[in-house]
Structure 1
Amino acid sequence: MQELIKLYELIAELSPVAIVVTRGTGPLYYNRAYLNLLGYEQEEKVVFNEAFTHVHPEDRVMVAEYNRRRLRGEEAPNNYEIRMVKKNGEVIDVEVSATRIIYQGEPAALSYLRDITLRKKMARDLAESAEKYRSVVENALEAVYIVQDGQIKFANRATSKLSGWSYEELTSRPFVDFIHPSDREFVHSNYLKRIMGEDVPPNYEFRIQGPEGEVKWVELMVVRIEWEGKPATLNFLRDITEHKELEARMLRAGRIEAVGVLAGGIAHDFNNILMGIMGHASLMLLEVEKSHPHYERLKAIENQVQAAAELTKQLLSYARAGRYNVEISDVNEALRQMVKLFWRAKKGVRINQHYDPNLWPVEIDKEQMGEVFRQIFLNSYQAMPGGGVVTVRTENVELKEQLSRTYRRPAGKYVHITLGDNGQGMSQEIRDRLFEPYFTTREMGRGVGLGMAAAYGIVKGHGGFIEVESEEGVGTTFHIYLPASGRMEKIASDYASPEATAEERKTILVVEDEKLVADVTMAMLKHLGYEVLTAASGKEALQIYGETRPDLVILDMIMPEMPGEEVFKRIRRLNPEARIILASGYSLEESAREILDEPMVEFLHKPYQLQELAQKLEALLRE
């Protein structure tokens, strides 16, 4: 028995856990680890004069009470934490495991003590760190949320703001409820695959739906994590709605641009064909009496060609290849005149006009821009069968770099024109196709669908861009942006129109690669009494001009090998005073337009009538 007691004493003495026996006085027994806990050396003689001397003063009452209750056999906590003061005054955290025993024949308290200072510090640091990171996440601008078992377990404020749902709503329903119905299966499938550890792209885009059905495009970056011992996903969500809208605008603009190139090419070729028909019809009409049975038929052909020419004119406007007589103009005045002209006879419509008195001047073709305003007003009128309100507004704006990239227009000063109505509005599908040629919502026979397409092309041809906002049942607003003019010339008010006079016997050189157009032009000129030379290429034209020095040149601007602009420059080198009429089914490029500013130059847009040709020849030969 004595050997067993000695063994127990040895085990207690060598235990790494501090052991102490108390009875309301100083320790009755303590081991080496207890001294080490309090910072004493093994060889030191320690005298504990008072009970609980090394317990922190603020914890002594609690420890004494637990000890008193335990000795009486009353209920007291077996495990608790206290603070103790070491020999050097350092305060440490101690975990106590206590039980009642009989020591030397009387009740006593046996306590095991462990220093948990480091553990407590780590726990505090971890809690502070967790709170710090939680604060960072909670106040982050980007939406952050955790999904586990198909439910949102945590979501920061930005998630609520982005989605439109409260925290309570987000955490009370399956997360797929907040996804757009068309994207739910895709997003849920990716979530399940990620939870199962399958390979899934970490980034993808989808749509979410708000409480009122509003739709937003979002980009998700997601990783798999462990959350409270179970697999979950950590999600970072970013609103890309504006980016997607800009992307759609760019794609739409690119599509319209491609169709415009095609439309312009078709219109140009078609104009050459119309030129042949128009020229021959005009010549035949001059040779027959009104009583001739073919006169009315020829007149009908001429009228139909003119109608076809109007169609190609609209196509060229859409393709931004129409003819523009550009002048420094006041948009306010142009709008006032069109408002008065279009709306004066329309009943039940109220016009709200707000014009910037300091509006910057712009360089526009008044007739063409007037057509833009007319088409938009017509759209508003048809959208308000019972009357309504039309708003007209102008202002100066500075176009920022982002928008300039989207619309492929230089940043800088623009005049912003707003034309709106509170009519029926349009659906998303109609808005997306509004500026496409031959797209119309009218019934058969009430329009060919070129009006808005032409308006789009005219605005683009003036270096600007046009956008539409619309909502069904609310109304439609068009935004037109035109570059402000840097020139400070006097704003022009009217267009000059030359008067025809009698022809003189002069020699004309026709430079045209299309034989049909060359033949009919030659016939028209001969009818007018001119001598005619023809050239089918730029090289041939330069040779003939150098040899004959004709009185005037009619020069096609679109030719293979050597373009009309180069031919013009070379002729002017041969003769700086050469009289030249530029002819084209397109409008002129910017560089070629500058040619018109030079003296003794005119422009004819194909197809042209005999009278137009006569007027241009007379005006130029008279100089």
Structure 2
Amino acid sequence: MINNKHKLTHLAKKFVIQKIGYPSIIISIILTSLLGYAEIKYWINISKQQNKIINQQINIFFNLTLKQLRKLEVFFESKSLNDLTTSQISLPSFADNLFILDKKYRPIYVYPEDHKIPYLNLIFDNFNKKVAYSRLYYSINLNKLAFAILDNARAKYSYLVEMDIDVFQKSIQKLVETQKKEILIVTDNYGNVIASSLPHLLDIQENINYLKFFKKLKKNKNIFYISIFNSSPYFIFGENFGHYQVIRLIKPINIVLPLIYILLITSLILISLNIYFGISINNFIYKTISKHVNRFSEILDSSLDNKFIVKNLNKLKSETKFKELDIVIRKLIYYLNKLNIFEETLKEKNQDLEFLLNNLPMWIWYLNDPTTFGIINKNLADFFGLNIHSYIYQKIPFERLSSQELTEATKRENKYLFEKGKTIKVKRWFTNKNGQKRLIAITKQPIFDEKGQVKQAICFGLDITENYLQEEKRKQLEEQLRRMQKMEAIGTLSSGIAHHFSNLLQAIYSYLNILKRSQNNIDKNIFEKIDEQIKKGKSLVQSLLAATHKTPEEFEIFELNKFIQQILDIIQSSYPKNIKIKSYIEQTKLYINGNQGLLEQAILNITNNAKDVLKTKTQAEINITIASETINKQNYIKIKISDNGPGIPSKHQNKVFEPFFTTKDIGKGTGLGLYLTYQIIKMHKGKINFITNNKGTTFIIYLPQSNPPTYPKTNNSYLPKPPFSATILTIEDEELILDGVKDFLEDKGLKVIGAKDGEQGLELFYKLQNKLDIVILDLGLPGIPGKEILTKITKYSSNIKIIVCSGYHHHEIAKNPQKFKVSAFLSKPYELEDLYKVILKILEVEQ
């Protein structure tokens, strides 16, 4: 018992020294440090707030001067600098000197004239080309500290304005002079003192470039350190505001002195507590606790569980009469019970965390190292078909998670993550246990230990497949919309070109008919060749409109054999000699109902593509085969166009008939050739496809076969003349067309009155309406549009017969003439005999 008493006395002294004495010293040091840090922090915060007021004062002055400069700019931007005189210039109150600079900051105007331009490199060094730029400097013109405003907002000039800052300097000086315990200095960017609480610095405008803290502040946004100034140590705090700096200096004694008082008081309190606790513990040991120590020790040394210890401690607590020991036992029982509760709670929390991880709609896993799992959640395990408990803290089964390529990439990523400690974000396609591919966005975040080394990594994976597919679909729709807009623009342009080109062809038609009726001995073959070229021009217009579905369906039944032979003649005479053209055309005459010009373009588009890929081949061939074929009791003409080129790459095969798709260089292909071919074949109710490999490409076209025409063509040379002289009003703005129509119809015995625009046409109609039999109206008129003239004529007289002629083939009147009370619609260019036939039909003359 005595031995235990001495041990407890020794432990008590050791307890007082280690648990109370040492901590008291440490607490004193920490408390003093914290208070010192708080005192310095408080001084810095107060300094920042006061600096903010100075900054606001300076910015207000800058902003006011910039607003006035804007007014000055408006004056000079509206004037010519060469024409300005000195009397016209009146500088605003804020400015002393004005310099107008070009965009390279060279002076082109100086006011007043005798002033020297400042050294711009000094004023505007590191100029960052913002809208407006201001800089404090020492002015050689004002011979004092000033600042310049350079405005770069306008495209023509920049403006450099110098102004005295006496008023500004005095307002800043008032703020500075309020400082009592510290030194405050405000300088420009070159070390010139603007304001200071030290009078000698202000009086001589001393340049402080030599001071160490100013040199540091020019390189940093702010500084704080201890240094010697005027032979005394100071805490120095400075802020760099770009164009000026604010430096504050305070002696350490002003901050440290309060801390010394606090440290003395704290030390006295802690010494008193040490003495009190030492005496109290010794008395308690000698008078009360020693006789129960052995039993208490036996209970605590027991190797049994917490519940047994709590049970025996309760017995000891009921037996003892000592309050202090009872409190200790109660505390010990309380903490033992808390420990039991904590263990149960921790178990529940682990269950909750496991539930949360396994039910989040994403992958979650830990990495203990680049190749070892920590834990994985249920979503990740289910995706790959893994047993979640078999892979916790086990090697990563790379072979089951991804392909060899993905495995290598994942290993490199994990190694980089643990070596560099940088977050990794990637998107990768993975195949799940059902064989479905899913796009997963993966984020791998390193976890660092106390030494800054990567200890573990937490990783997340989110399935973004649906978002990706929706984004891809959106991009496809946007691309389709862009193509539709391009086609619409081309359609509008094509329509306008077709109209004007049709007018030109119509004028040629008119004069060709005049030549045919003349008495000159001209070879008729020449007429036929010109007529053939005009028809080709008309087909070209229709081809141009075919790209946008704005072409009229002017079809005729013709012999395809002869038509193909003509195309072969063109190819053989124009293609390079290294390309052999071979053909097989069925002997039986084959007929088709179609447009020769459009079909010629469709076939040439295919052969031209073949020519381009074969031009460098030594033994190149293009084969064209024509034969009839019956499919589902329907007779078709099968056209095969083959070449022995390299074939179409697989990545391009699904884009062959798309508009604007081309593999040719810029300027060598439009990407519209095969697209137009597809549209033309579709317009003829046919089908087109292709077969391709590395030995060549074959395009196969099916066109519906027609029966031979059963009616003879009308002989235009024997068209009858009307039995009476009908009067026709022709409204046409193209003079060549008007003259040609007039001469032709008057030669047929008709009376023709011409009008060159809508206004003249309406005037003649109102004047001669009772004498007119027919009105021939062009839609594309200057001034009053043709459609408006048509509305006025039909509204005024419902019995008048109207023939509408236009190069706008897709016009709504062409589709339904009767709806607009029109007797006939003729698309330009038309043959004058066709116009005459329509007139005879309207006049009810048998042809």
TM-score by length of 2: 0.40
Query: Is the 8 Å Cα contact of residues 314 and 454 (structure 1) preserved in structure 2?
Result: no
- Alignment partner, residue 30 of structure 1: 309
Residue of structure 2 equivalent to 1:539 = 759
Q: Which of 122, 129, 153 in structure 1 is aligned with 2:356?
A: 129
1:307 is aligned to: 536
Distance, in Å, in 1 between the alignment partners of 2:657 and 2:303 is 93
Residue 676 (structure 2) aligned to one of 435, 438, 453: 453
Query: What fraction of aligned residue pairs are identical, expressed as a percent?
Result: 17
What SS does the aligned partner of 1:128 have?
helix
Distance, in Å, in 1 between the alignment partners of 2:756 and 2:506 is: 17
What is the rounded CA distance, in whole Å, between the counterparts of 2:600 and 2:383 in structure 1? 44
Amino acid of the residue matched to residue 676 of structure 2?
Answer: A
- 1:261 aligned partner: 492
Q: Does 1:317 align with 2:546?
A: yes
Which gives a bigger RCO, structure 1 or 2 (Cα 8 Å, sep 6+)?
Answer: 1
In structure 2, C-alpha distance between the alignment counterparts of 1:221 and 1:543, rounded to whole Å = 76
Q: How does 1:323-334 map to 2 (within 5 A)?
A: 323-324=552-553
Larger fraction in helix: 2
Q: Secondary structure at the match of 2:407?
A: coil
Q: How far did residue 44 of structure 1 move?
A: 11
Matched residue SS, 1:172: helix
Contact between 2:423 and 2:446, CA under 8 Å: does it hold in 1?
A: no
User: Per the alignment, do residues 118 and 606 of structure 1 end up closer, same or farther by CA in structure 2, a change over 3 Å counting?
Assistant: same
Which one of the candidate residues 808, 814, 817 is aligned to 1:595? 817
Amino acid corresponding to residue 552 of structure 1 in structure 2: I
Alignment of 1:476-487 (within 5 A): none
Q: Does 1:586 align with 2:792?
A: no
CA distance in 1, matches of 2:307, 2:652: 92
What is the distance in 1 between the residues matched to 2:514 and 2:382? 76
What are the Cα deviations for residues 505-556 of structure 1, in whole angstroms up to 9, with x where unaligned?
A: 2122222222232222222322332211222333332221111122111111
Deviations 1:385-409 (A, max 9, x none): 799999989xxxxxxxxxxxxxxxx
Number of equivalent positions:
436
State the match for 2:730 in structure 1.
Answer: 510
* Preserved contact between residue 538 and residue 564 of structure 1 (Cα < 8 Å): yes
Match of 2:525 in 1: 296
Deviations 1:316-352 (A, max 9, x none): 22243322479xxxxxxx9xxx9xx99xx978xxxxx
Q: Note if contact 1:20-1:28 (Cα within 8 Å) is conserved in structure 2.
A: no
Q: d(CA) in 1 for partners of 2:356 and 2:781?
A: 75
How far, CA to CA, are the matches of 1:157 and 1:508 in structure 2?
Answer: 90
Do 1:314 and 1:450's aligned partners in 2 also have CA atoms closer than 8 Å?
A: no
* Cα shift readout 1:373-432 (whole Å, capped 9, x = no counterpart): 99599969x999799999989xxxxxxxxxxxxxxxxxxxxxxxxx99999667665865
Per-residue displacement from partner, 1:180-226 (whole Å, max 9, x unpaired)? Answer: xxxxxxx9xxx99x98579xxx99xx99899xxxxx9x999776745
- Name the residue aligned to 1:616: 838
1:572, distance to aligned residue in structure 2 (A): 0.6
Contact 2:814 2:825 in 1 (8 A): no
Give the letter for the 1:538 counterpart: G
Could you give the per-residue CA deviations for residues 341-370 of structure 1, whole angstroms, max 9, x where no partner exists? Answer: 99xx978xxxxxxxxxxxxxxxxxx85699
SS of alignment partner, residue 519 of structure 1: helix
Closer/same/farther in 2, CA of residues 29 and 309 from structure 1, 3 Å limit = closer
* Alpha-carbon offset, residue 568 of structure 1: 1.4
> Which position in structure 1 is the counterpart of 2:508?
277
2: CA distance between counterparts of 1:324 and 1:287? 34
User: Equivalent residue for 2:478?
Assistant: 247
Work out whether 1:566 is the aligned partner of 2:788: yes
Distance 2:768 2:782 in 1: 24
Kindly provide the amino acid, as one letter, of the partner of residue 247 in structure 1: E
C-alpha distance 157-11 of structure 1, shift in aligned 2 (>3 A): same
Which residue identity does 1:303 align to in structure 2? Answer: E
CA contact (8 A) 2:429 2:439 kept: no
Structure 1, unmatched stretches of 5+, are: 46-92, 96-111, 139-143, 178-186, 211-215, 327-333, 348-365, 394-418, 442-447, 479-492
Secondary structure of the 2:408 match is coil
C-alpha separation between the residues in 2 aligned to 1:152 and 1:601? 88
Aligned equivalents of 1:259, 1:301: Cα separation in 2: 29
2:773 match: 551
Instruction: Find 1:167's aligned residue among 385, 394, 401.
Output: 401
Provide the C-alpha distance between the structure 2 equivalents of 1:152 and 1:564, rounded to a whole number of angstroms.
83
CA apart distance, 1:306: 1.7
Distance in 2, matches of 1:222 and 1:452, equals: 42
Contact 1:511–1:536 (CA under 8 A) maintained in structure 2: yes
Contact 2:443 2:460 in 1 (8 A): yes
| Distance change >3 Å, CA 547–CA 260, structure 1 → 2 | same
CA distance in 2, matches of 1:563, 1:450: 35
Assess, with a 3 A threshold, how the Cα gap between structure 1 residues 303 and 254 changes in structure 2: closer, same or farther: same
C-alpha spacing 1:472/1:294, structure 2 compared with 1 (3 Å): closer
Shift of 1:604: 0.8
Q: Which runs of 5+ in 2 are unaligned?
A: 9-288, 321-335, 385-398, 432-436, 448-454, 565-583, 587-592, 611-621, 633-637, 665-670, 702-708
Q: Give the secondary-structure state (helix, strand or coil) at the position aligned to 1:230.
A: strand
String of CA shifts for 1:429-455, please: whole Å, max 9, x gaps.
Answer: 5865746599899xxxxxx98675275
The one-letter code matched in structure 2 to 1:321 is K
Inter-CA distance 94–9: structure 2 relative to 1 (3 Å threshold): same
What amino acid does structure 2 have at the position aligned with 1:323? P
SS class of match (1:586) = coil
Query: Contact 2:422 / 2:445 at 8 angstroms: preserved in 1?
Result: no
Alpha-carbon deviations, 1:123-153, whole Å to 9, x = none?
A: 01111221122xx337xxxxx9999999999
1:21 and 2:302 equivalent?
A: yes
1:19 and 1:33 in contact (8 A); partners too: no
List per-residue Cα deviations over 1:472-524 (Å, max 9, x = no partner).
5499899xxxxxxxxxxxxxx99999997523221222222222322222223
Taking the aligned partners of 2:690 and 2:316, their CA distance within structure 1 comes to 87
Distance 2:359 2:774 in 1: 85
SS at match of 2:730: strand
**1:255 to 1:588, Cα distance in 2 relative to 1, 3 A:** closer
Any residues of structure 2 matched to 1:453-472 within 5 Å, and which?
Answer: 453=676, 456=679, 472=692
Contact 1:538 1:563 in 2 (8 A): yes
Find the aligned partners of 1:158 and 1:422 in 2 and give their Cα distance.
55
Supply the distance in 2 between the matched residues of 1:421 and 1:589 (Cα, whole angstroms).
36
> Equivalent residue of 1:30, what SS?
helix
Partner of 1:71: none
Contact 1:555 1:564 (C-alpha < 8 Å) held by counterparts: yes
- The range that moved more, 231-240 or 610-619, is 231-240
Mark the structure with the bigger radius of gyration: 2
